Amino acid sequence: WEGCITALQQGKIDILPDMAFSHQRNAEYDINAIPVIQSWSQLYARPGMKINSFADLNGKRVTVLKGSVQQNQFDQLMNGFGYSYIPVPVNTFEIALVLVKDKVADVAITNYFFGEKHYQAMKLIKLPLIFNPASLHYAVKKGTNATLLSTIDHYLENWTNSTQSIYYQILKDYQQPINTKQESPQKDGWRKLILIVTFFALVCIILLRLCIKTQNKTIENSEETLNNEKKKLQKYIEKAPFGILVTNAKGEYIDANAMACTITGYSKKELTGMTIQDILALEAETSGNQHFSSVLQDGKARGELPFITKTGEKRWWTVDAVKINQDTFIGFVIDITERKNAEDKLAALHSDMEKQINKKTKELRERIQELEHFYTVTIERELRMEELRKEIESLKTKTDEKENQNPAS
């Protein structure tokens, strides 16, 4: 399909059928107006595979048609649910079904009509999973073959309005599974044609097997690389110098690393049966609930909260929490108890110093008041003494004057 898209863009193909409509494609190509058929993407697997929901596809090898709308839609669907899968890119739907049959992939995605026609012959089962409803059209290179598209729309309009038209006859024939379709008697010419077609089919199968073998090797290498990266990431998490706790939307712990176990005192098995409220200090219930609500609503939150360890000791943590998806949240935890204790001691020391300063200040004010009082008293005494001196001088002067006026006789 990806090769067909490229050939259409380069003008090597005049008209391409089975083009699922999208606004992006409508901008890149000229597409006929009347949908040729309505289809959707259907999933198929081998018998015995227990897959009943998209959650069961988590970690599975799923074929996707390269360069298709289907691939983009499936990526968005799985990412939206928070599930991961191993993509197995294929060039055709036939290869997709063969890869599942040969156990190279776990699940195949095809459009509904192709899958319904071939899955029984491949001895596969149809899964109760569908997505990506699409209108299929004819497409041409932008600015070319406008007359051809209008002619197609003209015939489609007439055919779709008549249930006896060749359109519905072909559609009915196409929907019949190939393993249940009844063969009519063939003439010699048809038998020869069948032999020729069979020969070329065998050649195609051989080439397909070679292609599958190559893709299988590529997939194995990709899986090995993916597993190595997964192990490396898990090692980073386990060896992280801070605690990592994973919860669901209810605040229940579902995973923890080694440092988180060291900080809390609980084993990973014990933690996975507990909730945030189980280890949160009672006085922090309100602030803890507000912290978790912020993560649910805003996707992230940061705070300092008191927790109780397994031994009953109260300790302080910084908790940086982020939302991974609707039901998965990760908290990065660092024990800051020593820092908090140091801050408390510093605060107590500061408070004590404030009290001492206030006490000394009060004493100093009292001393100043005493000095001011002493100064006032001293000044008054000096003034009084000065007055006395003046009075004595005055009396002395008067006495001297009297003695001068009355000399001794």
Task: Kindly give, in sequence order, each residue whose CB lies less than 8 Å from that of residue 179, ignoring residues fewer than 6 positions away.
Answer: 120, 121
pLDDT at 197: 62
pLDDT in tens, 200-213: 566 567 667 766 77
**CA 216 to chain CA centroid, nearest Å:** 30
pLDDT at 242: 84
pTM flag (> 0.85): no
pLDDT at 365: 87
pLDDT in tens, 63-85: 999 878 788 889 988 998 899 99
pLDDT at 184: 47
Q: Which residues of the chain have pLDDT under 50?
A: 180-187, 409
pLDDT at 181: 46
pLDDT in tens, 106-148: 999 998 888 988 999 999 999 988 888 878 899 999 999 899 9
pLDDT at 108: 96
- b/e string for 358-383 if b means 16 or more Cβ within 10 A? eeeeeeeeeeeeeeeeeeeeeeeeee
**Cα-based torsion angle of the residue sequence 214, 215, 216, 221 in order, rounded to the nearest 10 degrees:** 100
pLDDT at 183: 46
Of 64, 86, 44, which Cα lies nearest the Cα of 1?
A: 64
Residue 341 identity (one-letter amino acid):
N
**377 token code pair:** 């008293």
